Each structure stands twice: as C-alpha cells, then as structure tokens.
Amino acid sequence: MGEILDGKKLARELGEKLGSEVDSLKEHGVSPKLCVINIGDDPASKVYVASKKRKAEKLGIKQVVYQLPADESEEDVLKLIDSLNADPEVSSLMVQLPVPPQINADRVIERIDPEKDVDCLTPANIGRLWQGKHFVEPATAAGIIALLDHYQIDLTGKNAVIVGRSNIVGKPLAALMLERNASVSILHSRSRNLADLTKQADILVCAVGKAEMIKADMVKEGAVVIDVGINWVDGHLVGDVDFAPVKEKASWITPVPGGVGPLTVEFLMEEVIKLTRRQHGLD
C-alpha cells in the first residue's frame, strides 16, 4: 500500500521559511509586491485569486488585484501591463487565465516583463526553462519537484510519464525532470495505447482535469503517482487518479485534496520572493 506524499504538511513547513525570507527582505528596505490581473467573472479564477491573496497577506507580501470587466479591451490590458512593468515597486506580475475571447492570451502574456513574470509563461522564460538557465519556475511544477525532493525520491534514470501537455504543468515539469536526469515522456489526448505507456512509468504524473481517469490497471506496481487533477464529482473534490485502488499498487501517492494543490500557492509566493531578490541584487 502506497505511502502518502503530504503536500499540505510540506506547504506549512515552507510557509514558515518564506515568512522569514519576507522579513529578511524588509530588513533590507524591500517589500515584495505581486500584481494580479483578473479579467471577467470566471468563478474558478476568483477562487484562485482569493486564495493567493490570503497566502500573500499571511506572509507579508503585498498583493494588488486588478479586477477588470469581462468586456475589457485587449489594448487597455496591454496598457495596464506596460504601466506595471515600468513600476519599480512591482516585483512580480501575472494574468489570471483564462481570459475572455476578445483578448489574445499569448499577446497579453508576451507583454509581461520576463523579470516580473511570476508564472514563467513569457517566451523568454520558457526558453530559459528548457535551457536550464531559469531564474523563475511555474509554481505547480516547482512544487512537484520539491515534494519529490522532500521525500527523497531520486529522479535519476527513472522513467517519468506525464499525462497532460499544458504550458503550466506538463511541459515545464518535463523540463525540470529532465534537469534531474529522468527519462521523460509526455502523453496527451492523442496518445495511442495510453495504458500501455502509463504502466511503464516509475513516476506517473496526471494533470488533465478528468476525474479518476487513471485506474489501477494503468499503473506499474511500486510506481510513484502524482495527481495534479482537481475535479468536482457529486459535491466532492477528486483527482485524475482513482485514488483508493491505485494506492494499493503505488509506493507513494499524492491525495486530492492535500497533495499538489497546497504547494502551488506556496511556490507562487516563493517565485515572488525570488524575483524580488533578483531585482534588488539580493540573490
């Protein structure tokens, strides 16, 4: 039976460390400031923005939310980004996704100064990530690596299979795992014989947003299973992994809730601190 990879516990420990780092910055006269642009009334986005704001306030990080109407023009969003890029007090900046259809998400993200790109989504920072020369990482991917490190799960030579090819989890996690000398495969909706491929994984990550799609017969005995999925089913939060049966086969497994989720917000705050230190020459 698999042991639990407790992301919630690790997030609490990291939170104490981050609080000390914020205090240290303030001793140098530096206050981290995160600006979040949220466009429209997407309910999930509002929940995410609120959770980030609570965590920032707890750590002593100033967070300003620019809540824009759903019919906001792309031109006005770009002007706002330009003004925040130019503001020396703003250490980090993000646009909450998704955005309304009249706004081109790629153009908006590309406008963010890479030095303030806390989500690591600008083309420059994505390039640095794949080159192994990054100074910022996407929060969820960074949290997964930290969780594996915390439980002393070595990636060297392991066959890592990631189900999901998003720019915020699947692709950046592949880059970070390659840095740790894993052999990485990325699977997706067009992959053939999915179960045959997932059964080869020493470390299996699922991040597709499809409730309990990974069944026990798709998992190798003794695999490490990381569930990034967040799905509501009959009023309950479940992951992309059929947890109870898979737990019987896995060596380690993340629960939902309490696994990767708490680390995502924690590591977003860590990226804010890293960017702040870099901008003030405190690396």
User: What CA–CA distances, in Å, run from 152 to 146, 175, 228, 266?
Assistant: 10, 19, 20, 20
Residue tagged active-site, from 117, 119, 202, 242? 119
Catalytic-role residue among 52, 171, 247, 274: 52
Residue 89 neighbours by CB distance under 10 Å:
12
Structure-token pair, residue 123: 């083309």
Catalytic residue among 33, 55, 63, 96: 96
CB atoms within 10 A of CB 127: 12
Q: Which of 126, 177, 151, 117 is nearest to 254 (CA)?
A: 151
Exposure string for 169-201, b = 16+ CB within 10 A, e = fewer: bbbbbbbbbeebebebbbbeeeeeebeebbbeb
Q: Is 119 a catalytic residue?
A: yes
How, if at all, do strands 236-238 and 231-233 pair? antiparallel
Cα angle 227-230-232, degrees, rounded to a multiple of 5: 135
List, in sequence order, every residue forming a beta bridge with 63; answer none if it has no partner.
34
* Residues tagged active-site: 52, 96, 119
